[in-house]
Copies of this chain bind each other. A is one copy, B any other.
Amino acid sequence: MTCAVLCIGTELTRGELVDTNGPWLAAALTDLGFEVLEKATVDDDRARIISAVRRLAGVARVIVCTGGLGPTTDDLTSEAVAEALGVPTERDEPSLDHIRRRLEKLGRTVSPTNAKQADFPRGAEILPNPIGTAPGFQVGIGGALLFFMPGVPREMMRMFEEQIVPRIRPLAPSESFQIRLRTFGLPESVVGERLGGVEAAFPGVTIGYRAHFPEIEVKVLARVKSEDGDGEGSKAPKTDDAARALCERATTEVRSRLADVIYGEGHDTFAGVVGRALRARGFTLAIAESCTGGLVGHMVTREPGASDFLLVDAVTYANSAKTRLLGVGEDVLRGHGAVSAEVAAAMAEGVRRVSDADIALSLTGVAGPSGGTAEKPVGTVYLAVASAKGTLVKHRVFPGERLQIQTLASYLGLSLVREACG
């Protein structure tokens, strides 16, 4: 049972908008157990929409389409699909009522262009849009089922999940189960090498990678063929269990190969995991940043609940601030330079003293692009963690540009905090 995705819109073919609907739908269909053959994007051109719809209906059984259902004259999807089917469009009165009620709520009345959004190819099944103006619709061409939704991502996602998934799930040739693991510390190529052979060892399992610098998310997807053959009728719950069991077996293997770099799964974030470790021990945290300029604090505080443990983050960018706020000795700064093990230690100890925190982290370095020297090149960072156990200092030279250096240093700093909780 094969699928295709069609995105319609000149803003997409001109690259004015980065298409997020296409990848989202491709992933959702894959996760449901379908094979996605093609994603196509065409501009708002009647002939090209007709030709894409007809062509895809000839190669795939389920085609999910977004875009071109808006009120403007550019929005041609409904008319083009009617033409592809050889039928006229017809106004759907319940949809027009829905559009009228939504616009009235916004203090507006229905114009002829809005009314156009209630016109659908004759015979189409309407797919209501609970959170937007434009309804969607479903039609059949030959043996293919085609679904059309508006291009607004929120509306599209809601309609897909509420209306399309129940209609197509029984058609999926396999049942699937997935686990997403979050890693930090290795480049994607090395993560891939470490997992070499896992797919072969667990037939039905696919490993996917998604990089969000500096993290690599590893998706373990298990598919098990539906027991009732080609997907007609409802699935036996056994298929479901088998997919989950296969996924869990493969994930155990993946975990053992990446044990040193997996920090969490699903929607975990690195700072969130570090926060959990602090909370579990009842520890408070203080931070003193220099080259990272507030990034560590931002990572920690973009997670809800940071006030449970974070007392202060002193971004002491100027030397005078290091002295005045943290009590770093002027002689230490003069003698070793602001980027030094001694200053990192004094910053961590200083911020711990002024805040009474259990654990204090400091970072000082050269984020670049200027400020590097032969001895301390761009990328040099000293990190220190001070706690009741004493002060630990680390030295690294990170590769990359300014923001990459800041990000890598911040991640390493948070790792050190997590270790200090251990």
Contacts and interface: CB of A to CB of B under 8 A. Distances in A.
Given A294-B297, A313-B315, A38 B13 contact: yes
Given A297-B294, A298-B295, A43 B48 contact: no
Contacts of A287: 315
A294 B304 contact: no
Contact of A14 (B26, B296, B318, B368): B26
Interface of A: 11-20, 22-30, 36-43, 45, 48, 52, 55, 206, 208-210, 219, 287, 289, 292-298, 300-302, 304-307, 310-318, 320-321, 324-325, 354-356, 367-371, 402-403, 406
A304 B366 CA distance: 11
A190 to B, nearest CB: 13
B19 A23 contact: yes
Nearest to A30: B14
A314 B317 contact: no
A219 B43 CA distance: 18
Contact of A18 (B23, B42, B313): B23
A409 to B, nearest CB: 12
A315 B55 CA distance: 58
Q: How many copies does the complex hold?
A: 2
A320 to B, nearest CB: 7
Contacts of A27: 14-16
Contacts of A324: 354-355
Given A14-B30, A301-B315, 6 more contacts: A18-B18, A38-B42, A38-B48, A297-B315, A314-B325, A324-B355
A18 B210 CA distance: 9
A165 to B, nearest CB: 15
Contact of A15 (B25, B43, B296, B356): B25
Contacts of A28: 15
Given A293-B306, A304-B370, A315-B294, A45 B37 contact: yes
Given A293-B301, A313-B294, A30 B43 contact: no
Interface centre among A15, A324, A402 (most CB of B within 10 A): A15
A126 to B, nearest CB: 25
A123 to B, nearest CB: 28
Contact of A36 (B15, B355, B406): B15
Nearest to A42: B38
Contact of A43 (B12, B36, B307, B314): B36
A336 to B, nearest CB: 18
A48 B37 contact: yes
A26 B38 contact: no
Contacts of A325: 312, 314, 325, 354
Given A294-B313, A310-B318, A312-B315, A304 B368 contact: yes
Interface centre among A19, A41, A369 (most CB of B within 10 A): A41
A236 to B, nearest CB: 25
Contact of A298 (B24, B36, B298, B312): B298
Nearest to A301: B293
Given A39-B12, A43-B36, A210-B17, A312 B304 contact: no
A20 to B, nearest CB: 7
Contacts of A295: 294, 298, 301-302
A177 to B, nearest CB: 16
